[in-house]
Amino acid sequence: MAERLPKPVSAALLLAAAAVAGLWLWVPREDGRRDADSKLGVIAHSGDALVPLPQVPRLPADKVALGKALFQDVRLSRDNTISCAGCHDLSSFGHDGRRGSVGVGGAEGSVNAPTVFNASLNFAQFWDGRAASLEDQAAGPVHNPLEMATDWAAVIGKLQADDAFRRDFLSAYPDGITAANLADAIATFERTLLTENAPFDRYLRGDPQAIDARAKLGYRRFRELGCVSCHQGVNIGGNMFQRFGVMADFFGERAPQRPAVAADLGRFNVTGQEVDRHVFKVPGLRNVAETAPYFHDGGVARLEDAVAIMGRYQLGRELSPDEIDSLVAFLKTLTGMPPASLKR
Q: Is 182 helix (H, G, I), strand (E, B) or coil?
A: helix
Q: How far is Cα 286 from Cα 170, in angstroms, rounded to an integer?
A: 36
Active site residue 147: yes
Residues 6+ apart with CB under 8 A from 94: 88, 115, 116, 117, 119, 193, 287, 291
**Chain-centroid distance, C-alpha 180:** 22
Element (H, E) at 281: strand 279-281
Q: Does residue 293 have a cis bond before it (omega within 30 degrees)? A: yes
Active site residue: 135, 147, 190, 323, which one?
A: 147
Q: Strand 279-281 to strand 241-243: parallel, antiparallel, or no bridges (unpaired)? A: antiparallel
Residues 6+ apart with CB under 8 A from 189: 63, 64, 65, 66, 67, 68, 70, 71, 341
CA-based nearest residue to 225, from 333, 119, 118, 331: 331
Q: Strand 279-281 to strand 40-42: parallel, antiparallel, or no bridges (unpaired)? A: unpaired
Contact 59, 31 (CB under 8 A): yes
Which residues carry out catalysis?
147
